[in-house]
Amino acid sequence: MSSSRLGTVGLPVLGVIVMIGAWWGTVAIFDTPVFLVPAPPDVVEAFLRLPEYMLEQTWLTLVETLVGFALSVVAGVLIGLAIASSRVLEQMFYPLLVGLNAVPKLAIAPLLVVWMGFGLQPKVMMVLLLCFFPIVISTAFGLTSTPTELVEYARSLDTPRWRIFAKVRFPYALPQMFVGLKVAITLAVIGAVIGEFVGGDGGLGFVIQSAGATGDTPLAFAAIGLLAAIGVVLFYIIVGLERMLLPWAREVVSVR
C-alpha cells in the first residue's frame, strides 16, 4: 500500500480513534453520569441491545436522505441552468430563492406535516428544501464562470450553442457543481432528521427524540453515531464520483 493511500485511509481512522479516546477519557476523569454523557462502551451496548431495530431505522433515514437528495439534484441543476442561461430569470427569481433559503426550515416542518401527513413525503420535502439551494448556486456559478476566451474561440469556429454548452460550459462547471453536491449531501442527512423530529414515527431522528424523552442517552448517542456514519459515507461517495468523473480537475488546482 502506497504512503498516499495509507494516509488517506489511516489518518481518518486515527482521527476517529483519538476523538473516541478523548471522549472516553473525559467521561472517566470527570465521572460523568451515563444519563448525561455515556462512555463509548455504553453506546455500543445500547446499539447491541436493539441491533435490528437500529439498522431498520438507519435504513429508513437513508432512504429519506437519498430520495430527497436525488430530487434536489434534479431541481437544483435545472434551476441553476435556467438562472445561468437568462439574466432576466436570474433577476426575477434569485431574490426569491435567497429568501426561501433564509427561512428557518424548522419553521416549515410542521406545515409539511399538515400538508403531507406523517409518511415519507414531508421528510423528503424537508431534505429537498435544505439541499437544493447550494446545488442551484454552484451550478449557476459554474456555468457562468467559463473563461470568455474559450467560449469566443468555440463561437469563432461556428460551433452550435448546444455543442458549446455540452463540450465547454458544462464540463468546466462540473468541479463547482460537485462542491455544491458535497455541501448538499451532508445537509440532506440534517433535513431527514429535522423531518423525523417534527412528524416522524420512525428513523434515527425519531429514535433520538424517543430516547431523550425516556432518558436513554446511550441509545440516543448510538443513533447520533449512525447518523454521522451515514453522512461520512455519502460524502465520500460523492468525492469518489468526483475523482472518477473528473480526474483532470485535480491536475489544475494547487497542491498543498
For 41-78, what is each residue's pLDDT tens digit?
Answer: 999 999 999 999 999 999 999 999 999 999 999 999 99
CB of 151 closer than 8 Å to CB of 165: no
Q: Residues of the chain with pLDDT > 70: what percent?
A: 90
User: Are residues 1 and 44 located together in one domain of the fold?
Assistant: no
Average per-residue pLDDT for the chain = 86
User: Are residues 187 and 231 located together in one domain of the fold?
Assistant: yes
φ/ψ of 32, rounded to 5, equals -70, 130
pTM for the full predicted model: 0.88
φ/ψ of 147, rounded to 5, equals -55, 135
| 7-16, 138-147, 184-193: least confident range | 7-16
In a domain, 110, yes or no: yes
Written as nine digits, the cell of 13 is: 481512522
CB under 8 Å to 182, separation ≥6 — which residues?
235, 238, 239, 242
Statement: residue 80 has pLDDT above 80? yes
Written as nine digits, the cell of 223 is: 443513533
Statement: residue 81 has pLDDT above 80? yes
In a domain, 168, yes or no: yes
User: Are residues 46 and 24 located together in one domain of the fold?
Assistant: no
CB of 93 closer than 8 Å to CB of 132: no
User: Are residues 60 and 154 located together in one domain of the fold?
Assistant: yes
**What confidence category does residue 19 fall into, taking pLDDT thresholds of 50, 70 and 90?**
very high
**What confidence category does residue 6 fall into, taking pLDDT thresholds of 50, 70 and 90?**
low
User: Are residues 134 and 205 located together in one domain of the fold?
Assistant: yes
Reported for 240-247, long-range contacts at CB under 8 A and 24+ positions apart, including other chains, are: 241/178, 242/175, 242/178, 242/181, 242/182, 245/174, 246/174, 246/175, 246/178
Q: What is the phi-psi region of residue 93: left when phi exceeds 0, alpha when psi lies from -120 to 50, beta otherwise?
A: alpha
Helix (H, G, I), strand (E, B) or coil at 215: coil
Statement: residue 256 has pLDDT above 60? no
Helix (H, G, I), strand (E, B) or coil at 234: helix
Q: What DSSP string runs through 137-176?
A: HHHHHHHH-S-HHHHHHHHHTT--HHHHIIIIIHHHHHHH
Q: Domain range holding 230?
A: 38-251
Structural domains counted in the chain: 2
User: Are residues 49 and 148 located together in one domain of the fold?
Assistant: yes
Instruction: Tell me the average pLDDT across 170-183.
Output: 90
**What confidence category does residue 3 fall into, taking pLDDT thresholds of 50, 70 and 90?**
low
Farthest CA pair distance, the chain:
74
Which DSSP symbol is given to 249?
Answer: G
Q: How far apart are CA 102 and CA 106, in angstroms?
A: 11
User: Are residues 205 and 140 located together in one domain of the fold?
Assistant: yes
For 83-122, what is each residue's pLDDT tens digit?
Answer: 888 888 888 888 888 888 888 888 888 888 888 888 889 9
Q: How far apart are CA 215 and CA 8, in angstroms?
A: 38
User: Are residues 114 and 232 located together in one domain of the fold?
Assistant: yes
Q: What is the phi-psi region of residue 245: left when phi exceeds 0, alpha when psi lies from -120 to 50, beta otherwise?
A: alpha
User: Are residues 1 and 95 located together in one domain of the fold?
Assistant: no
For 209-237, what is each residue's pLDDT tens digit?
Answer: 999 888 899 999 999 999 999 999 999 99
Q: How far apart are CA 169 and CA 154, in angstroms?
A: 11
In a domain, 256, yes or no: no
User: Are residues 15 and 127 located together in one domain of the fold?
Assistant: no
